Amino acid sequence: MVDVKTFGKVAVLMGGRSAEREVSLMSGTGVLKALQSKGVDAHAFDPAERELGELKRDGFARCFIALHGRFGEDGTVQGALELLGIPYTGPGVMASSVAMDKLMTKRIWVAEGLSTPAWRQVRSATETREAFAALGSPMIVKPVREGSTIGLSKVVSADECEAAYAMASKLDPMVMCEQFISGDEVTCPVLGTDDGARALPVIRIIAPEGNYDYQNKYFTDDTQYLVPCGLPAGEEVAIQALVLQAYRTLGCRGWSRADVMIDAATRKPYLLEINTSPGMTGHSLVPMSARAAGLSYEDLCVQILATASLDNA
């Protein structure tokens, strides 16, 4: 049991300046209500509307980061909080920065022998066509440093490469192409740090027409989330072990959620990315998995807040 009074005054950071602002506001509102319902002295704080220095001036003792995307999930806010000396939830500066950059994440995972789909970084529509010839159809084109499938395209012909590159590059000058793995799409959250980190139940995602895009993630009820996931027991355990290894390899702490594709033919799991400040909306996956493990949304929020720390404490 946690004595919430020891948390002091808590800021729930939400909103921010990224393309995921709308989702962050939904996440933050849910977290804020949950913490307040547990007696936490929690308050909303939008870094797009207030200077972070006000956190110190206003006496905040710790922060629950419910920001998504750049300027919140990429190490920038984490670095500012380190300078202010205010403990925060989720991974630290380096892990947050690396995990936000899908290219750097893949390079580290490959160096550690972890499976991830083949990819290429591209700098033009021409290079996107070349990647399509190398990686095959279908191919995913996406910004390197965005989340929530924003700016992502599934390309099935060379003629679609130019439009896909244009959409992704509007959001981020760094664009990547990735081999599409056909099969089961799953996700697995992790809670805790170092040897205390544990993987929660795996969720299998069945989206309309296999399209798990921004709309189907947050604003429709047509997507199915299966937990228990219905996979053979050995597969779920293997995915949890892979995700834990991916989490530790990047130096994550507190909590995160990894997305995985399982090849339909070989049943081999492939890591797609890791989210270091996952969604906490009504459609979000970490609360769903936690609930299957017997942890309520409110208790989950308190547990995450209890792990708030600094890299240089």
Residue 233, C-beta contacts closer than 8 angstroms, at least 6 positions apart? none
**Catalytic one of 18, 27, 97, 148:** 148
**Catalytic one of 88, 212, 218, 247:** 218
**Catalytic one of 273, 277, 297, 298:** 273
**Catalytic one of 153, 275, 284, 289:** 275
Residue 218 catalytic?
yes
- With the C-alpha atoms ordered 239, 293, 74, 174, is the resulting torsion angle positive or negative? positive
- Do 165 and 125 touch, CB atoms closer than 8 A? yes
Residue 3, C-beta contacts closer than 8 angstroms, at least 6 positions apart? none
**Catalytic one of 15, 16, 20, 72:** 20
What one-character DSSP code corresponds to residue 91?
S
**Catalytic one of 279, 284, 289, 298:** 279
Residue 275 catalytic?
yes
Residue 247 catalytic?
no
- Do 278 and 256 touch, CB atoms closer than 8 A? yes
Sequence-ordered alpha helix ranges (H) in 200-232: 214-218
Residue 71 burial class via C-beta count within 10 angstroms: exposed 0-12, middle 13-18, buried 19 and up: middle
- Please identify which residue in the block is written with the tokens 């000396």: 85
Neighbours of 40 (CB within 10 A): 25
**Catalytic one of 129, 204, 253, 257:** 257
- With the C-alpha atoms ordered 98, 100, 104, 106, is the resulting torsion angle positive or negative? positive
Residue 296 catalytic?
no
- Do 286 and 257 touch, CB atoms closer than 8 A? yes
**How far is 192 from 256, CA to CA, in rounded Å?**
9
Residue 209 catalytic?
no
Residue 279 catalytic?
yes
Mind telling me the catalytic residues? 20, 148, 218, 257, 259, 273, 275, 279
